[in-house]
Structure 1
Amino acid sequence: MRVTKKVKAEQIAILECVYGGTKPELHFSSAFELLIAVILSAQCTDKRVNVTTARLFSKANTPEAIAAMGLSALEAEIKDCGLYHTKAKNILATCQMICREYGGEVPADFETLQKLPGVGRKTANVVMSVAFHYPAIAVDTHVFRVANRLKLAVGKTPLAVEEGLKKAIPREKWSDAHHWLIWHGRKICKARKPACASCPLAAVCPSAGVE
């Protein structure tokens, strides 16, 4: 099927109808806690991250407190989160940088966020969108897969998909649509066995029943 602007609008409308009001699964109570949770979420489920951050944040939930822990203690706290050596090193360096250069506050600027160790485009978009309520679309594996299958945005890289989604989705819906696509990817449009038979988007999806 040919995915026209009209079809894309229908896809977006269905996603909003089904997933409207959904929120991030990660638990956090500040921009800093969200930043750390998203860094920890690389190649790790949100449920596992929530277990890890509940333990970590009960002991240290500010850049000053985590920086004071030191690398070994931080590694011990996040060891069950995967890739913990790299994550601990980046988190510690990020906390030190926030304390040293930004007065202990997470910078509310997209380009500045990406200067923090371990913070790429996706993480910066999540923080800008969720913590600072700035219109943004973070492309994780779910968003990348669903966007390409729907042909809502086609691209071989997360950046290409992000740019395509920004063209297809009204700016005021960018941040919400990010969550709609994630939840659809988790619940229906799974990587190995998408549940096309029960998918509310099947009628407007060019990939329905293909995989």
Structure 2
Amino acid sequence: MPNHDLSVVGLFLAADPVVKGVMVLLLLASAACWAIVLEKTVVLARANAQARRFETAVADGGGFEEADGPGLPAAILAAGRHEWHDHDANETRAELRERLERAMRVALLEELRRLDAHLPVLATVGSSAPFVGLFGTVWGIMHSFTSIAASNDTSLAVVAPGIAEALFATAIGLVAAIPAVVAYNKLTSDLGRLSQRLSVAVGRLAGHMVRTRARHLKAAE
């Protein structure tokens, strides 16, 4: 009776070439997902720190003239500053505020879209990896049954290794899918909360900019 290596490496090496291909594909997808998760975690942590400073500056009622540098607040402030200087004398305060908010929200959405890049990969892997692994399992079991029929031996010692190799593909699919789904839900939730916080800050900043414009106009009279 042949000895079968039932370790992780042994199951992979003994698997059918198609099943091996499925396993390699799933492992590469899992590695890509972890790279995205690590990168987005760092980027979102930096964006949240910038957002906190932005909220503090808005609450203090100043600083909107300085919009240099990278990051979410700088892009929002640059858009607002551009609209603030492009002033129409016949424009009402409500119209000015609407124009400022619209420009800053567009800049916010563009920055959030940049932060959202590659997150759909996590959703795709999370939804498709179990089925890709299942395909490898089905293919491996079919191959095992074909081998069993050719050998005319249906003992458990002959059947079990082939089925174990096939089921290993499903296990890898789940290992790739579960972290991807959890990370996608967490990151999109964090991104949504960041968007809400900055949207509130944009509204407050627009109000402050309108009041500042009114003071400038009154002082110029």
Give your verdict on TM over 0.5.
no
Structure whose CA Rg is larger? 2
The TM-score with structure 2 as length reference comes to: 0.27
The TM-score with structure 1 as length reference comes to: 0.28
Q: Which has the higher helix share?
A: 2
Task: Return the structure number with greater relative CO, CA threshold 8 A, min gap 6.
Answer: 2
